[in-house]
Structure 1
Amino acid sequence: MSKALNQISKPPFIRRIEGGRLPQRFTQPTSTVYNGRTEHVSHFNQRMTVHSKNEPLMCKVFPSSLGPVAMRWFNSLKKGFINSFKQITRSFSSRFVTCSRVPQPLDSLLSVVMREGETLKTYSDRYWEMFNEIDGDFNDVAIRTLKAGLPAKHGLRKSLTGNQLVM
């Protein structure tokens, strides 16, 4: 028990980071606690963007955004292990790599088709959710693949076929 308490009381930062001071009147931005499913580092960076040049601050605040599992990982790091914000985020990302977002390939849009009995709204929601999982600029493909997923006799498909929409 005392070994665990001793470990927790020794942050894993080098002296330069440990000795860094918080800015006067610093208020920590509210952040979502890491839940194993979000792109946590990019969310954290977005919330701390004003302070991104203050490496000691970034390092010290990062653990407060971790949930219980990630906090156990952080508490297990050896004293002096973390020498930069880049290192803590790389270590975090490599430890929790299975929780990272994997972009979908463009052809995944072709697998999104309107199911029998499905409403247009439900189909559209599923389609745009998949579209947003694809990295890159494929707006020119969006309407064509949305239309291709609709049944041949659907009114919206006929409407899109007759009109040339530009996004």
Structure 2
Amino acid sequence: MILHNANDALMCKVFAMTLRGAVQDWFHTLPSGSISSFKELAYVFTKEYTSYRTIKKNTDHLYNLRKKSDESLRDYIKRFKAEKANIVGCDDWIAASAFKKGLPTKHDLYCELTITPSQTLAEVYATAEHYALWDDDRIAAKKSTK
């Protein structure tokens, strides 16, 4: 519409027709005559809804993930994989490094990944799954003794 030099009133009306649900309700709560141009409408709309925009995470985000003390290794693996899946173009070598950094340094898997560096992410996950089985067995054994 901007390319066709449409006037502000037409642009505001067409914009309103694209809204649905709660956003449309918000639009209709604007006081009559409070918007004088499409530029102003765009500003008010952006101000109202910018916080709802999802912010794309980058690979650095993975370095903030840590295995929680009360979290099983299997749950940490699932959480890490889910976070990695949300990062477009995530480098596997960086992800493997971040996965290891998220483990406590005294964890057996951390030691294993340190002893055998330069593993692919798939190899790190495979090793982690083996340790998760071991971790599951230890958790089950603790529960059965209680």
Using the size of structure 1 for normalisation, the TM-score is: 0.44
Structure with the higher fraction of residues in helix conformation: 2
Name which one, 1 or 2, has greater alpha-carbon Rg.
2
Using the size of structure 2 for normalisation, the TM-score is: 0.49
